Amino acid sequence: MPVRNAIVQASIGLHARPAALFVRAVHETGLPITISKDGRPGVDARSLLEVMTEDFPCGCEVELAVDPASLPDGYSAGDVGAALDGLCELLESARSR
Banded model confidence at residue 95, pLDDT cuts 50, 70, 90: low
| pTM over 0.85, yes/no | yes
The 10s digit of each residue's pLDDT in 36-86 is 999 999 999 999 999 999 999 999 999 999 988 888 888 888 899 999 999
Quote the CA–CA distance of 38 and 11 in Å, as a whole number: 19
Return the pLDDT at 76.
84
What's the CATH fold of domain 3-96?
Histidine-containing Protein; Chain: A; (3.30.1340)
The catalytic position among 2, 9, 12, 15 is 15
What length does the chain have?
A: 97
Q: Round to whole Å and give the CA distance between 94 and 97.
A: 5
Is 27 assigned a catalytic role? no
Better-predicted residue by pLDDT, 90 or 75? 90
Helices and strands, counts by H and E, the chain: 3, 4
pLDDT at 96: 52
